[in-house]
Structure 1
Amino acid sequence: MVVPASYVLLLREAPGGTGTEVLLQLRQNTGYMDGHWAAAAAGHVERGETAEDAARREALEEIAVADLDLAFATAMQRTAHDLPIDERIDFFFTARAWSGEPRIVEPAKCADLRWFPLAALPSPVVPHEAVVLEGLRRGDLPGLTHYGF
């Protein structure tokens, strides 16, 4: 079974024009990569929902922002070799414009929400998301990426 998910990476220019920043959340009590920094909003695409609709829904549910000006960044095919998990397809979007002030809506699942320079990410970052963030930082993120192969 292939499990689709959408990720939203909010980007902004750092104060003082020192580069691009990304908004990341610190995961807690989710059962997956707790204690890791991750996209500010992400989640599974529900039946009958487009990847873009899922991204907008997750951003509203997790960080209270709407009217996202989404830009497709990459699709990632992901596996974990011999581990008993489903195969994954992840849709990553960036947004540089939205309405509302990002805030933690689900404090039981999110310990912190903070802006970081793309050139100086915190540690640890969810590994497959780090691949995407590094591609964004370098400016050479391909339309299709892979992880775990």
Structure 2
Amino acid sequence: MSASDPAGTHGRFVVVPASYVYLVREAEGGTEVLLQQRGDVPYMAGHWAAGAAGHVERGEDAIAAARRELREELDVEATDLRFEFTMQRTQHADAIDERVDFFFTARSWRGEPRAVESAKCAGLGWFRLDDLPEPMVPHEAHALAHLGTDAAYLTFGF
């Protein structure tokens, strides 16, 4: 590191990791997923997104982040957290726009999902995977279209 390169990156971009968890259940009309409508937040306010998601914190792995986000955002504990796939995405802008997202599902959990961070969440709802609400966060709509497939690696924005 130097004064001209305080982060020590020497021109390399920084990748921001995040974990997403979709609670999934079988219903009479088909498979449903729990989504939250984003509240008054800087990114995609009013759009539908994963019930629980957030950045992986320093010293934390993606699985631990997924479990933490479930507790912090929905007040539930997954009893069968399952890794689905990884998504690499970009917006070809600032270094912060290079992302690696880890997607998980849970089909059983302890507790009743509720919006813990009500200022950030305008609502929660169960939706059929084949009939998602609008507007959706675009990269999450892409992820949900691949849920339950054999996809292990997705890209978005390339």
Structure 1, gaps ≥5 residues long: none
What's 1:39 paired with? 50
Identify which of 16, 25, 28 aligns with 1:12: 25
1:115 aligns with 2:153: no
What's 2:74 paired with? 63
Question: Quick one: distance in 1 between partners of 2:66 and 2:106?
Answer: 10
Shift of 1:29: 1.8
What's 1:146 paired with? 155
Structure 2, gaps ≥5 residues long: 1-13
CA contact (8 A) 1:132 1:141 kept: no
Tell me the SS of whatever aligns to 1:89. Answer: strand
What is the aligned length?
144
Shift of 1:141: 4.9
Sequence identity of aligned pairs in percent? 62
Q: Encode CA deviations 1:8-34: one digit per residue, 9 max, x unaligned.
A: 0000001x3x21000000001220011
Q: Point out 4+ residue stretches in structure 1 off by more than 6 angstroms.
A: none
Q: Which is greater in Rg?
A: 2
So what's the TM-score if we normalise by structure 2? 0.88
1:130 aligns with 2:130: no
Q: Encode CA deviations 1:97-149: one digit per residue, 9 max, x unaligned.
A: 1100000101100000000000100001100000111112xx43510000000
Shift of 1:63: 0.6
Question: Quick one: distance in 1 between partners of 2:129 and 2:33?
Answer: 6
After superposition, the Cα gap between the structure-2 partners of 1:36 and 1:141, relative to the gap in structure 1 and judged at 3 Å, is farther
Question: Quick one: distance in 2 between partners of 1:93 and 1:67?
Answer: 10
After superposition, the Cα gap between the structure-2 partners of 1:93 and 1:34, relative to the gap in structure 1 and judged at 3 Å, is same
Question: Quick one: distance in 1 between partners of 2:134 and 2:51?
Answer: 15
